[in-house]
Structure 1
């Protein structure tokens, strides 16, 4: 299913002005890993301040899509434009939060220092020395600003190993935001969080979208915590893809067509969606190979905001 540039993009241009390029534009995009097509036919346009979820069963290449957007893996088919250029060209305007890894309880680095690594470090969080005094003051001010934005002021000066899982995740989101990115890529940021923290982090991301006009693309295993924040969905399965609004995509008819087997979407009394009959992808190692390939080539590409200690993936 193809999606068109949103009204937000057209309105931003204004009467008589050229249309503002979308933050993301994919046309017939596909990717192959190890000689196998993970997904193909992705058509998607994302405007400023829009929230997009990447959904699908395990092993279909959801994380691989994020790596394509970062320029760490090439698309095998179609076109992919990120911030008006080729993937990887604008990575300093991209915030990236890889799959979550807990900090060891003995880690002594403060949360605020983890945030700062996203500002004056390279993409793997190694600090760059010899900042001038004015730049140091500006860096401290920006770190304080983004810590407040994510609601982490109360614990940002504690050792991060002493912070809870939800607190650590807020600090890592702050790290990914500290360079004022236009696009935020998140790989299962709610994984391993309890339900209250899932809801709180989802609400935070929705607020960042609206208030900061940062576009969010988030890989998720469960759509329900973020359902009310979403503008659109990309659903990957069986080597294919469908994209559109949640009401267009997460339906029995659409998912049955995508999976080529009967699938039923139910809505519970509290508004949660349940997909019944959804087959899991066969046990494969494509994503593992894709990650290894991406990591082997990461140093060739421009740095990405975020991805400090315990968060690189």
Structure 2
């Protein structure tokens, strides 16, 4: 994969013509009322890049993904996705949402959920039924879910459901894959399986990956850059540049210690919000961050 030039806060990247950004933000800000989640964000994400999005609860990680999906307008600045303003319903964007209660979807089969990724959005030409079935089978095989293609989702484990959700997100062969906390509630083995699926996709198809996570260690060896959101600001760069005591202390305005032990990164001596449990705080208007 081509070398990805790094961006630092307040500095705009230069993007070579042969690696034009698929996501580009300039001076971007997002606020809820008087609460500023982040501002002044300059960022380019290129084909095949793996970007991890980190930060404490309420810092705007999920809101960042919603902005890319065209679901949440910026408060300031500009955002383009594949050279156009962000818009809803693009077949070029695959989306793996946070795991939620199955409720009405519990009896849907795995293949049904993947099929919705192909023809359930209402955009673009419709495939013939036979072509849809073949595509569903192909996608299920590619994510290792063929063995439980006809099993209701409610009977699958959390890791198996995440394989199916990734299959649904990849069903239209997207150029960008957005993953919002895909590792929540998964054990280490399933975390590894999910991250390997995502990494294999970006390497084989040059798909850009934006991966929101509370825990960097499962993807630390895969990511090209980290976008760390906190205190209305941000840091962006390689893990070695961003996940340092100096960088995070400057971002938080207080002493934060980053310790590396046996290849793992731990944040210690941090404000309460850094070490908050892995669930999302409510924002003023009831949406989650």
Give the alignment's TM-score, normalised by structure 2.
0.87
Extract unaligned runs of 5+ from structure 1.
11-17, 293-313
Per mean C-alpha deviation after superposition, the further-off stretch among 283-292 and 153-162 is: 283-292
Match 2:172 to one of 170, 179, 197 = 179
1:277 partnered with 2:269? yes
Q: CA deviation at 1:153?
A: 1.3
Q: Is the 8 A contact 2:96 2:169 kept in 1?
A: yes
Q: Is the 8 A contact 1:232 1:245 kept in 2?
A: yes
Q: Which structure 2 residues correspond to residues 202-241 of structure 1 after superposition, within 5 A?
A: 202-241=195-234
Q: Is the 8 A contact 2:54 2:226 kept in 1?
A: yes
Q: Distance in 2 between matches of 1:28 and 1:284?
A: 25
> 1:305 corresponds to which residue?
none
Cα distance per residue 1:89-109 (max 9 Å; x no partner): 672211112211143599332
Cα distance per residue 1:204-240 (max 9 Å; x no partner): 1111110121111011000000111101110001111
1:150 partnered with 2:143? yes
1:199 partnered with 2:192? yes
Cα distance per residue 1:31-89 (max 9 Å; x no partner): 11122211112221111111111100111111111111111111112221111110116
If asked which structure has higher relative contact order (CA below 8 Å, sep 6+), I would say 1
Q: Is the 8 A contact 2:110 2:150 kept in 1?
A: yes
Q: Is the 8 A contact 1:21 1:83 kept in 2?
A: no
Q: Which structure 2 residues correspond to residues 246-285 of structure 1 after superposition, within 5 A?
A: 246-269=239-262, 271-281=263-273, 285=282
Match 2:13 to one of 4, 27, 36 = 4
Cα distance per residue 1:246-268 (max 9 Å; x no partner): 11111111111101111111111
Q: Distance in 1 between matches of 2:220 and 2:86?
A: 27
| Secondary structure class of the residue paired with 1:66 | helix
Query: How many aligned positions are there?
Result: 274
Q: Is the 8 A contact 1:42 1:242 kept in 2?
A: no
Q: CA deviation at 1:5?
A: 5.1
Q: Which structure 2 residues correspond to residues 31-180 of structure 1 after superposition, within 5 A?
A: 31-88=30-87, 91-103=90-102, 107-122=106-121, 135-180=128-173
> 2:286 corresponds to which residue?
289
Q: CA deviation at 1:291?
A: 4.8
| Secondary structure class of the residue paired with 1:154 | helix
Q: Distance in 2 between matches of 1:90 and 1:108?
A: 25
Q: Pick the structure with more helix per residue.
A: 1
| Secondary structure class of the residue paired with 2:148 | coil
Q: CA deviation at 1:280?
A: 3.8
